Amino acid sequence: MLYFSKLRIIIISFISLFLIFFASSNLIKLNDGFFSKKINLGLDLQGGSYLLLEIDNTPVIEQKLQNLTITLRNYFKEKNIRINNIKLKDQKLSFTVEEKFKKTVIDIFNDKESDINPYYERFKSHQLEINDVEGSLVINYSKQGIIELKTSSQDQALEIVRRRIDEIGTNEPNILKRGNDRILVELPGLDDPMRIKSLLGKTANLTFRFVTNNNEDSFGAEKLKFEENDEEAIVSKRIILSGDNLLDAQPRMNSETNETVVSFTLDRVGAKRFGKATSTGIGKQLAIVLDGKIISAPVIRDTIASGSGQISGGFTFQSATDLALLLRSGALPAPLEIIEERTVGPDLGQDSINAGIIALIIGFVLVILFIFIKYKIFGLITNIALIINLFLLIGVLTIFEATLTLPGIAGIILTVGMAVDANVLIFERIKEELKNEKNNLIAFDSGYTKSRTAILDANITTLLAAIILFFMGSGPIKGFSLTLGVGIFTTLFSVYFIARLLTVLYVSKNKEKVGLI
């Protein structure tokens, strides 16, 4: 029957007022933590930058194959098999062995040797293939190995990109995977992306290496340029320390020289290595190399055993801050290239907001007029429930601090239509019941009850579509599906609780007039 207990009325009123309060928090400033939540505007409404990054996995593949040469040498040395002419070219590692050992080497990679060894697990984990090509054995990654490597690089890069952007404090960034070698970055409110592009474009591969005066270093040497000029220095390939040993890095002012430096702290392993290297290398230059360029090469004057030090290089405070940020967030596993870039200005975003609001107002007013003319007093009840429904929808989005996009506004407009459609079904069913039922209260109750199946079917199918769009879509599509999905729940609440409660209150006091619907 058309009956609401006092407890039920209190619960409905509490939920409605609670969500309306949160919806209104978008219009007033509140400083109290939980109650200061607001809806965030998306890139198309607030303006900002859109960057599509592509990961270059070539250096990663070559580096892993280069590291594999040590494993190969150690293993075959134990087997008394001599390998020669090791070369790395076009993401393939080639070497030669005596003809009588070729089958043995191939069997090792194919797991056909009887004495399984610890090195085989390393070969297997790399998803490597081996082939005999023109007298040389050639090792390369399998297709599955390439896919796994790309996926791993993408996951690492995504996390590091997120750290770098979070360090800057950008509002509500949207960072997503695209395929297995691309990353999408949306930065609402950022209309000058130059600093972000600079930070994301650096691999931030930091190493500490000794400067040598000749090419006779047992580890090999290479010529590297200084970052601030075109001078060159011969640097050992032996890595004393890497960025992996850093615990923290911060910009500082050196009180003695009055210049900006980057102060760093090493972990326990790094501090031990650094102390040993500086104790044996007094008088030598220690090159600090970032992404293949020498930042500075100070002379070691004394042992540094404290596990901390400074990097100098003529930094401004901004450049020192950015370098410290890069070092704290870690090195990217592979270089990133910006292959697509778009910037939406705040004026264009405001135009989109205005256009969306105008469309919502026009649609809302037309719906209100139609429903009032069609159903008189019950149309007025529907319109009140419809307005509350919008507040409920905005309140839910505010609680979760959702990001509102232009398609999201379209989802809100569609929610208005869905809410009206439910009420039309109910009232038309009530009309049918009033023709056959003398008791108006029973007719109204039957109208709500018998129309429920059709309304639920329509809303559930729409909800399923919204869920699929949310999980399968991206960006603006997610914004549309989110507001549509939340709108379905608030619509059902407003129709079967708020509108029905108001209808009960009116019908109970005007039993003789309700037949005029």
170 or 489, greater pLDDT = 489
Query: Which burial class, exposed, middle or buried, applies to 168 when counting CB atoms under 10 A from its CB (0-12, 13-18, 19+)?
Result: middle
Q: Note the pLDDT of residue 116.
A: 41
User: Is residue 440 over pLDDT 70?
Assistant: yes
User: Is residue 124 over pLDDT 80?
Assistant: no
CB-CB contact of 283 with 299 (8 Å) = yes
**Reported CATH class of domain 213-322:** alpha beta
User: Is residue 464 over pLDDT 90?
Assistant: yes
Pick the closest to residue 389 from 412, 406, 405 (CA basis): 412
Q: Note the pLDDT of residue 179.
A: 85
Q: Note the pLDDT of residue 517.
A: 58
Same fold, 6-44+346-516 and 213-322: no
Q: Note the pLDDT of residue 139.
A: 85
Q: Averaged over 48-77, what is the pLDDT? A: 81
Q: What is the pLDDT of residues 374-407, one digit of tens each?
A: 888 888 988 899 999 999 999 999 988 888 888 8
Q: Note the pLDDT of residue 468.
A: 92
**Reported CATH class of domain 6-44+346-516:** mainly alpha
Residue 34's pLDDT band (boundaries 50, 70, 90)?
low
- What letter does residue 105 receive in the DSSP assignment? H
User: Is residue 254 over pLDDT 70?
Assistant: yes
Pick the closest to residue 323 from 300, 299, 293 (CA basis): 293
User: Is residue 485 over pLDDT 90?
Assistant: yes
Give DSSP secondary structure letters for 18-40: HHHHHHHTTTS---SGGGG--PE
Going from N- to C-terminal start, the domains of the chain cover: 6-44+346-516, 58-145, 213-322
Pick the closest to residue 454 from 500, 404, 495 (CA basis): 495
CB-CB contact of 149 with 57 (8 Å) = yes
Query: Under DSSP, is residue 517 helix (H, G, I), strand (E, B) or coil?
Result: coil
Give DSSP secondary structure letters for 345-380: -HHHHHHHHHHHHHHHHHHHHHHHHHHHHHHHHHHH
Most confident of 2-6, 94-98, 219-223, 464-468: 464-468
Q: Note the pLDDT of residue 393.
A: 93
Supply the mean pLDDT for the chain.
82
Query: Which burial class, exposed, middle or buried, applies to 490 when counting CB atoms under 10 A from its CB (0-12, 13-18, 19+)?
Result: buried
Q: Averaged over 89-110, what is the pLDDT? A: 79
Q: Note the pLDDT of residue 115.
A: 46
With a pLDDT cut of 90, the percent of the chain lying above it is 10
- What letter does residue 205 receive in the DSSP assignment? -
Residue 121's pLDDT band (boundaries 50, 70, 90)?
low
